[in-house]
């Protein structure tokens, strides 16, 4: 059987569970996939029995990606490693047979639980985090679902895209970071906050260590208590408020600048 040999994917028909050793030393059980830089490591074959692949309690060493793959869609650190028969990348020199069935993508599933994905380098991590934290496509989630803190993308219960026709992989308590010790400033930070005090403190803390976007999702109503200019924004910075209802917006008490004559919604924001 050809499997887990660089250049040949492991064909998965039925159910395959790859789990870490329960008594592994500090750092857990490591599955080294770093040699799969030119083709997938696992290929799901729907067939008549379906195909289910699960990784549990493992650290996966990911292969380096060529520059063109870093910017490819979908934004995923798994799409090049796990493919489904009928779409995605085939291993070099691998021929498709006719006996693997014609099952649909609904018969394929991928699950990662308590897994750490270590990408090969800072370039891959920076690109992944930057694209993940794009404000126009970010889905504001509960804090337990997806956070990006300290150079680590933390999936509590979320999904990661795979190459079509495979459905997204489900990630439970799974982290993505780099093999090297990532240091600030990081490309992105994202979390959830509740309350004005936490919003102020978290924003200040994350802005100080993030070179790119900071995304804060509100878990409840925020009351600034009538504060004038609740946000102070540099002219070279961007503040985006999305899907919010703003109440109690004050006018400036004194008109000392042309900006004080602007519409009421702008007064909570002070430009430096």
What confidence tens digit (pLDDT) does each residue in 71-103 have?
Answer: 777 789 999 899 998 644 433 333 333 444 444
pLDDT of amino acid 32: 94
Give CA–CA dist 50/35, Å, rounded: 27
Whether 108 has a pLDDT exceeding 60, the answer reads: yes
Confidence of residue 164 (pLDDT cuts 50, 70, 90): confident
Task: Taking residues 136-149, report their average pLDDT.
Answer: 78
Please, what's the largest Cα pairwise distance for the chain? 79
Among residues 163, 189, 145, which one has the least CA distance to residue 40?
163
Whether 17 has a pLDDT exceeding 90, the answer reads: yes
Confidence of residue 27 (pLDDT cuts 50, 70, 90): low
* Average pLDDT value for the chain: 80
pLDDT of amino acid 38: 84
Whether 178 has a pLDDT exceeding 90, the answer reads: yes
Q: Which two tokens stand for residue 141?
A: 């989630």
Q: Which two tokens stand for residue 64?
A: 């380096």
The predicted-structure confidence for 261-272, as pLDDT tens digits, reads as follows 665 555 566 655
Helix (H) or strand (E) holding 86: none
Strands 29-32 and 82-84: unpaired
Whether 4 has a pLDDT exceeding 70, the answer reads: no
**17 vs 229 pLDDT, higher one:** 17
**192 vs 257 pLDDT, higher one:** 192
**DSSP class per residue in 161-195:** --STTSPPEEEEEEEEEESS---SSEEEEEEEE-S
pLDDT of amino acid 246: 76
Task: Taking residues 135-141, report their average pLDDT.
Answer: 79
Peptide bond into 264 cis (omega under 30): no
Half-sphere exposure of 236 (CA within 13 A, CB side): 2
The predicted-structure confidence for 34-77, as pLDDT tens digits, reads as follows 999 888 999 999 876 789 999 999 999 999 876 666 777 778 99
Contact 233, 259 (CB under 8 A): no
pLDDT of amino acid 269: 63
């Amino acid at each position: 059987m050809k499997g887990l040999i660089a250049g040949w994917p492991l064909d998965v028909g039925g159910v395959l569970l790859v789990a870490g050793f329960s008594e592994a030393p500090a750092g857990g059980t490591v599955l080294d996939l770093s040699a799969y830089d030119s083709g997938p490591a696992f290929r799901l074959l729907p067939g008549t029995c379906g195909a289910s692949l699960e990784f549990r309690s493992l650290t996966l060493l990911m292969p380096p990606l060529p520059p063109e793959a870093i910017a490819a869609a979908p934004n995923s650190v798994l799409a090049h490693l796990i493919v489904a028969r009928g779409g995605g990348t085939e291993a070099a020199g691998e021929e498709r047979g006719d006996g693997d069935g014609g099952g649909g993508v609904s018969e394929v599933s991928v699950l990662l639980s308590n897994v750490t994905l270590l990408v090969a380098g800072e370039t891959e991590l920076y690109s992944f985090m930057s694209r993940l934290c794009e404000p126009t496509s970010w889905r504001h989630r509960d804090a337990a679902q997806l956070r990006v803190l300290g150079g680590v993308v933390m999936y509590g219960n979320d999904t990661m895209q795979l190459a079509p026709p495979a459905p997204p992989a489900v990630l439970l308590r799974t982290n993505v970071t780099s093999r090297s010790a990532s240091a600030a400033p990081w490309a992105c930070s994202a979390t959830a906050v509740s309350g004005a005090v936490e919003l102020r403190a978290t924003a200040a803390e994350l802005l100080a260590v993030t070179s790119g976007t900071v995304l804060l999702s509100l878990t409840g109503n925020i009351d600034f208590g009538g504060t004038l200019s609740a946000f102070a924004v540099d002219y070279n910075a961007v503040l985006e408020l999305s899907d919010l209802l703003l109440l109690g917006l004050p006018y400036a008490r004194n008109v000392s600048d042309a900006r004080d004559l602007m519409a009421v919604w702008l007064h909570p924001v002070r430009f430096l």
